[in-house]
Structure 1
Amino acid sequence: MAESLALDLARIQFGFTISFHIIFPAITIGLASYLVVLEGLWLYTRRTLYRDLYHFWSKIFAVNFGMGVVSGLVMAYQFGTNWSFFSEFAGGVTGPLLAYEVLTAFFLEAGFLGVMLFGWNRVGPGLHFFSTVVVAVGTLISTFWILASNSWMQTPQGFEIIDGRVVPTDWLAVIFNPSFPYRLAHMSVAAFLATALFVGASAAWHLLRGRDQPAIRTMFSMAMWMMVVVAPVQVLIGDLHGLNTLKHQPAKVAAMEGHWGGETAPGEGLPLLLFGWPDMAEETTHLAVGVPRLGSLILTHSWDGTIPGLKEFPARDRPNATVVFWSFRVMVGLGLLMLLLGALSLLQRWRGRLYRSRGLLRFALAMGPAGLVAILAGWYTTEIGRQPWVVYGLMRTSEAVSPHATGTLALSLGLFVVVYLFVFGAGVAYMLRLVRKGPVNDEGREEGDGGPGHQRHAMRPLSAVRETFDDDGRV
């Protein structure tokens, strides 16, 4: 009993810390690419609103980047403290992959981040734009290596087990494991969607308060175009990812669908359960409400296809269907709302009311955190659905945890909660303060003024407070 509780506490602690780490890099990935677009448009058009939006969102990017780095360091240390047996078993694969992420991505980002944030008035336009592009590419390279490591834990290949440890035999097979391409695409697009929703909600907040300015309109328009284009792409990627998961992790898909097996007669196909309550003890889904045959159509692309039910797997090898069933539906439900938001924005754009429809603006504002919530729900579905394995089919989670006492884990978890809520709560509050301030309106400045290579008064890159000066010029 004590060992089981210690395992649960270790899992909760890792889940708590990595949940924070997922949020900030997701916004960082999307904002980095958004900044590339904004600076590219400024260089091409010389319209000051693109420059002002760049300055505004670069401050928020810097806050997210800092919090992402801090949360990532804590998460990495937990591999050695709470999951030492996992590190000993699989460190031959996961260790080098994480090291490649640091060498190829983190150093790249850190090397050019200073030029991007502080070099606007100190380097030429070409070098500054190159620095912004490099930072954006670095965030995507980081995503590549992190997803390669995690995907290998889902669908391991390219290795041998020698003396109880994983030894890589084919690094290309390790990196490009069966689930990696789908998970990389799914996560990257999710980061872009989450950022678009964040940007759109920020613009909607200002528009609802009467701040109808060209820069604010541009923010909202660009965000809504992203929803129109990228949300349907994510649906397609999700479908391909689901088929891949069904092939390699059928128990996870059965848990996602609340499918136990034997519920339908041969030839009837599988219903798509909209609601229900999977009961792990009684091996059934209570209060199930579904659409006949739609499950077969989505999961197998056939009218009467079937998938293995949870009863076909030993009880000790089944994931927690109750949690996975609902986390999956949260992700899908929010995805459908994203599609709806994009469709409504197209309708209001066609009507000429994109910036005046208060219903659309309120919807966009409410959807601001939806992308991050969907990412977390998708991550819970993926990771809890992999259980009871930490490396699927090779090592159980119970075999990977360090032998810490329950009291020690409870104390450390409590400290993590307090410190994280204080530190990252302050960071999020500061970021929202920046959002509330909004972009500085400099439309009156000459079009060529204030860009890279032009001398002007440099603003503090993280400042959300107006600077005032006395008669002597002192702050």
Structure 2
Amino acid sequence: MVSGLVMAYQFGTNWSGFSQFAGSITGPLLTYEVLTAFFLEAGFLGVMLFGWNKVGPGLHFLSTCMVALGTLMSTFWILASNSWMHTPQGFEIHNGQVVPVDWFAVIFNPSFPYRLLHMSVAAFLSSAMFVGASAAWHLLKGNDTPAIRRMFSMALWMAVVVAPVQALIGDMHGLNTLKHQPVKIAAIEGHWENTPGEPTPLTLVGWPDMEAERTRYALEIPALGSLILTHSLDKQVPALKDYPKEDRPNSTVVFWSFRLMVGMGVLMIFLGLASLWLRYRRRLYHSRPFMHFALWMGPSGLIAILAGWVTTEVGRQPWVVYGLLRTRDAVSAHSTLQMSISLLAFFVVYSLVFGVGYIYMIRLIQKGPQPAETPTAETDGRPARPISAVGESLEQEKRE
């Protein structure tokens, strides 16, 4: 929510060329997000975070559901706008500006369903990894309670079921990208040219060299690239040399960001499979090496999400609106000094906000799940400070 507020201002301050060109589409979509989702999230977020012992369990559960619903609605509108920038349709251009002519086509553009599913499932997986890591930390500390076991078990079931589903969604998203942004796939694979009559190999690792137009130190598996990317051995994947240099994204960046994302996904699948084996052996809550593994997997979901967005956004360069507006034409006319000062200010402010939030979250994790308390008649009805949600428990532990 906090970062979204700043981004809304940046459309006008830093991306005036983009706003002038596509504002008639992105503006209404972001307005729908604010009207339908932002206020819903903001209104119930405080009750969800700080009302555990201040309101009844029914109202608290309702608040949690409303925050989740608002977040999904925000995801819908934001990704509709972002996906349109990747696969624009439902518009006409008049006097150098985009004019919507079919809002259904604008919203449900070709890449939107795949991007919405991929990002939503990624968010669920990221949450599961974080919850599982929190439970693993408590189990390693000897805090083996039914609530902690339930946290651990639920998170690992998510890894078992959802991680393979995410891989399938990613495969479908890749096929869609191959159809609409083939040069992005070529950059992701570090694939420079095809040999006539031969299927495309899959490059496992290597170092794409944009100047030399080849991938150095490439470790390849013959024909597997065609099989994975086109589901056929008779088709070839488009190559980077098929496109002008000025239209190619930075292959070095997206090559490795994509592999980082996939690597995190493979580890999540392995975590789920290992948990099934330990459940069968009745060792799930007693295997300390596995608990350490689950603990270290805590940030894996967030790492995968960030790497995926780097792949998506760097991979569409040099375009802001794919095939229509280049990045160099979308930025505002600010000096380097102005942008540096602005960036430094954002870095300082967000570092402070993130630091406070990080400390608060760590204290909540240390506290662990607690039984709900029924408000007593002695309470004066005034809300407590947010940090008090964890402060009293920790102080009591110190005294003990």
TM-score bin (small chain) = over 0.9
Counterparts of 1:11-26 in structure 2 under 5 Å?
A: none
Of 342-351 and 70-79, the range deviating more from structure 2: 70-79
Specify the alignment match of 2:286 in structure 1: 356
Q: 1:333 aligns with which of 263, 279, 283?
A: 263
Alpha-carbon distance, 1:128 to partner:
4.4
Task: Write the mapping of 1:9-408 to structure 2, written as runs, cut at 5 A.
Answer: 69-117=1-49, 126-262=58-194, 264-267=195-198, 269-408=199-338
Corresponding position of 2:364: 434
Cα deviation, residue 415, structure 1 = 2.5
Instruction: For residue 120 of structure 1, report the CA deviation from its aligned partner.
Output: 5.6
Q: CA 1:347/1:455 → structure 2, altered by over 3 Å: closer, same or farther?
A: farther
Give the whole-Å Cα distance in 2 for the aligned partners of 1:456 and 1:265: 82
Are the structure 2 counterparts of residues 111 and 430 from structure 1 closer, same or farther at C-alpha, using a change threshold of 3 Å?
closer
Cα distance in 2 between the residues matched to 1:244 and 1:173: 16
Once residues 287 and 101 of structure 2 are traced to their aligned partners in structure 1, the CA distance between those partners, rounded to angstroms, is 58
1:214 CA drift (Å): 1.1
- In 2, the alpha carbon distance for the partners of 1:235 and 1:456 equals 53
Contact 2:225 2:237 in 1 (8 A): no
Question: For the structure 1 residues 256 and 456, does the alpha-carbon distance in structure 2 shift closer, same or farther, using more than 3 Å as the test?
Answer: farther
Match of 1:14 in 2: none
Partners of 2:187 and 2:249 within 8 A in 1: yes
Residue 72 (structure 1) shift: 1.5
1:352–1:279 distance in 2 versus 1, CA, 3 Å? same
Any idea what the Cα deviations from partners look like across 1:299-355, whole Å, max 9, x if unmatched? 000124201100010100000001010000000011001100000011011100001
Distance in 2 (alpha carbons) for counterparts of 1:321 and 1:176: 29
- SS across alignment from 1:465: helix
> For residues 61 and 378 of structure 2, what CA distance do their matches in structure 1 show?
18
Q: CA deviation at 1:421?
A: 2.0
- Tell me how far 1:136 sits from its aligned partner: 1.5
Note if contact 2:367-2:393 (Cα within 8 Å) is conserved in structure 1.
no
Asked if 2 retains the 8 angstrom alpha-carbon contact of 1:121 and 1:454, the reply is no
User: For the residues of structure 1 that align with 2:242 and 2:348, how far apart are their CA atoms?
Assistant: 42
Q: 2 CA distance for matches of 1:459 and 1:210?
A: 30
2:119 aligns to what SS in structure 1? helix
TM-score (norm 1): 0.78
Query: What is the aligned-residue RMSD (CA, Å)?
Result: 2.2
CA offset digits 1:164-187 (Å, max 9, x no partner): 111110000000000000000000
CA contact (8 A) 1:121 1:456 kept: no
SS at match of 1:380: helix
Q: Secondary structure at the match of 2:391?
A: coil
Asked if the contact 1:450/1:456 (under 8 Å) is kept, the reply is: no
**AA in 2 matched with 1:465:** G
Q: CA deviation at 1:436?
A: 2.0
Q: State the distance in 1 between where 2:378 and 2:127 align.
A: 30
What is the deviation of 1:456? 8.5
CA shift in 2, pair 1:455/1:170, >3 Å: farther
CA gap of 1:174–1:142, structure 2 versus 1, over 3 A, is same
Q: How does the TM-score come out when normalised to structure 2?
A: 0.93
Deviation of 1:116 after TM superposition, in Å, equals: 4.1
Aligned to 2:398: none
The answer to whether the Cα contact below 8 Å between 2:367 and 2:394 also exists between their aligned partners in 1 is no
Deviation per CA, 1:32-57: give whole Å up to 9, x if none. Answer: xxxxxxxxxxxxxxxxxxxxxxxxxx
Unaligned runs of 5+ in 2: 396-400
Name the count of aligned residue pairs.
Answer: 392
Q: CA deviation at 1:423?
A: 2.3
Deviation at 1:296, TM superposition (A): 0.9
Amino acid at match of 2:190: G
CA contact 1:204–1:220 (8 Å) conserved in 2: yes
User: Aligned equivalents of 1:260 and 1:114: distance in 2?
Assistant: 52
Rounded Cα–Cα distance in structure 2 between residues aligned with 1:226 and 1:461: 30
User: Comparing 292-301 with 227-236, which one deviates more in the overlay?
Assistant: 292-301
1:465 and 2:395 aligned: no
